[in-house]
A and B are shown apart, each in its own frame.
Chain A
Amino acid sequence: MARIYVIEDDEDVRGQLCVLLRRGGYEAIYAESFEDVAQQVFAADPDLVLLDLGLPGTDGQYIIKELRQSSDVPIIVLTSRAGDLDELMSISLGADDFIAKPKSGQLLLAHIDAVLRRMKGLSAAGRILEKDGLVMDVARSTASYQGSSVELTKNESRILELLLSRSGQIVSREEIMEALWNSDAFVDDNTLTVNMNRLRQALTKIGITHCVVTHRGQGYSL
């Protein structure tokens, strides 16, 4: 399980980020004080660092520089400034990706996946989500159950990941469509139904029937 180090001063945002990361299959740890953050990061030895540029008292760019002096750890920068300059500066100082807040949590998870895959290879990026024996390897887009496994298409994978991370809750059709749109699949209502059916068929191949439940007028759940 990959370890993510969160450097964010706002307690609310930080707390929510940790919930999101843990639900998404990561281990999440965070900095409580911001003096000497770089040292804290080195001590924790994470697989990826999430850094908010707007920290009080210190300059986020400075932290990137400090981290890069002795480490290659992937860094994703969270920024709420609307200028290109901050983003370009962060990248040129050594950050690997940036994402503006507020953005959807699912989108953030997708960015983290992409960076981990790029920097550390498929195995390190491995996120495992499971429920009742159904196991999904997010990075490899496979679903397995009792020994057999099936490879999922990009859309099926996004849908299953979303349903698993909210297991037990009803996820609306709109939310699923938004998740697909966020990965550049601009589906409409009909195409969504087709995709849901395809997912069900794929799960049937590994022996799972009736696990994706349709709640008429509300959405789906696992």
Chain B
Amino acid sequence: MSIETYLRSHIVSLLLCVLSIIATYFLVRVLDAAGNAALLIALMQALFLIVAGLFNWFSGRRFWEGLVEIADAPANEVLSLASNVVEPEFAEGIIVKRALDNTTHAANAMVGSLNAGQNDYREFIESWVHEIKTPLAAANLMIENYSDPRLRPLCAELDRIGSYVEQALFYARSGSVENDYLIRDVSVDSMVKEAVKSRASELIAANISVELSGLGQPSPSVPCDPKWVVFVIGQLIDNAVRYRYIGQERSASISFSAHALDLKTANECVVLQIRDNGCGIPSADIGRVFEKGFTGENGRSRKKSTGLGLYLAHVLCEKMGLSVAIESIYGSWTCVSITFPRLKP
């Protein structure tokens, strides 16, 4: 702490010291000593008091400055700063340090146990997802092999279960550290096709036509984790299906296109656009669509939505260094753009 702060906080002691020096001077004068002697004694006293004061200020300085840093640090740095405080040599400082150490220790223990709990839960979800795919596969095969065509809608229900399972998996992964994905070069159209095929029965049942010619021939390649990108595109298709056009004027459609922009510059990127001619998003809602759990006006009038699809899309894209943006005209169309920087992040 600065010398002014120190003096200001010890103002009472400071005044008393000054008073004591003045008092000493007058006391010595009163006891009949010479003026010079009194002055000398008073000066010597002053000297010792100043040195004592400076010593006090100086010796604790580093310790208090360390504490000031902790006091002003942002939340994510506090705990690590607190573990690195200079060991003080004066009694009050030692007490403060002990209290600080105890607090830090308790906080670290709590964070550690919460992290471990969360990891446990995530591992549980991963193994649950793994296990559930077996009965889902068996059921799917049974329907394909044996069933009466009237039971075919069962397949659609199983697909819905599969979708929720997939959402659960990626939700569990979205909250954790960035070690869960592998980046490699993948062609945009292979990912789009995989996502479209995964939603084939919903798209076909809803009579939505799919337009892929805008993806380019050959389609551009981008660095990313294809599993995550396919999942994101799947979520966007789900939305397009849920909020599709229903009526007589036109037929529902989803079109995909990919363009490279700013070629040969540092900002070179590929933009994938997914556009549907559905009911669109009201302008009051469009700023909030990426919020967790947001369902908006559309969410209430169409089939029930978890509100997680766009949230997860946004979170996962951010983790991969991609940006996602949405535009819409209510009643006409919605277009989601995913931007892939061309160079590896």
Contact = CB atoms under 8 A, between A and B. Distances in A.
Interface of A: 10, 12-13, 16-17, 19-20, 23, 54, 80-85, 88, 100-106, 169-172, 174-175, 177-178, 181-182, 184, 186, 188-189, 218-219
Contact of B162 (A102, A181, A188, A218): A102
A104 B193 CA distance: 15
A104 B149 contact: no
B105 interface: no
B149 A102 contact: no
Contact of A181 (B144, B169, B200, B227): B200
A174 B204 contact: yes
Q: Is the interface of B mostly helix, strand, loop or mixed?
A: helix
A171 B144 CA distance: 10
B201 A174 contact: yes
B149 A171 contact: yes
A10 B145 contact: no
Across the A-B interface, give the 6 residue pairs with the lowest CB-CB distance, nearest first.
A16-B141, A102-B137, A80-B133, A101-B137, A12-B138, A188-B209
Nearest to B146: A19
B141 A82 contact: no
B144 A20 contact: yes
B226 interface: yes
Contacts of A16: 138, 141-142, 145
A17 B141 contact: yes
Given A16-B142, A16-B145, A189-B207, A102 B133 contact: yes
A20 B145 contact: yes
Contacts of A189: 207
A80 B227 contact: no
21 contacts: A10-B138, A12-B142, A13-B137, A13-B138, A13-B141, A16-B138, A23-B145, A54-B130, A81-B130, A82-B227, A84-B225, A85-B182, A88-B182, A100-B133, A103-B140, A171-B149, A178-B200, A178-B204, A181-B204, A184-B193, A188-B209
Given A80-B134, A219-B149, A102 B204 contact: no
B152 A175 contact: yes
A181 B196 contact: yes
Interface in B122-176: 129-130, 133-142, 144-146, 149, 152, 158, 162, 166, 169
Interface residues of B, number: 37
Contacts of B130: 54, 80-81
B210 A19 contact: no
Interface in B97-135: 129-130, 133-135
B152 A172 contact: yes
Contacts of B146: 19
Contacts of B212: 186
Nearest to A189: B207
Interface in B166-223: 166, 169, 180, 182, 193, 196-197, 200-201, 204-205, 207, 209-210, 212
A183 B232 CA distance: 22
Contacts of B145: 16, 19-20, 23, 105
Contacts of A80: 130, 133-134, 137
Contacts of B227: 82-84
Nearest to A17: B141
Given A85-B182, A174-B201, 5 more contacts: A12-B135, A20-B141, A83-B227, A105-B140, A177-B204
A175 B205 CA distance: 10
Contacts of A102: 133, 136-137, 139-141, 158, 162
A172 B154 CA distance: 14
B315 to A, nearest CB: 17
A174 B144 contact: no
A113 B335 CA distance: 38
B226 A84 contact: yes
A105 B144 CA distance: 7
B187 to A, nearest CB: 13
A174 B152 contact: yes
A20 B226 CA distance: 29
Contact of B134 (A101, A170, A172): A101
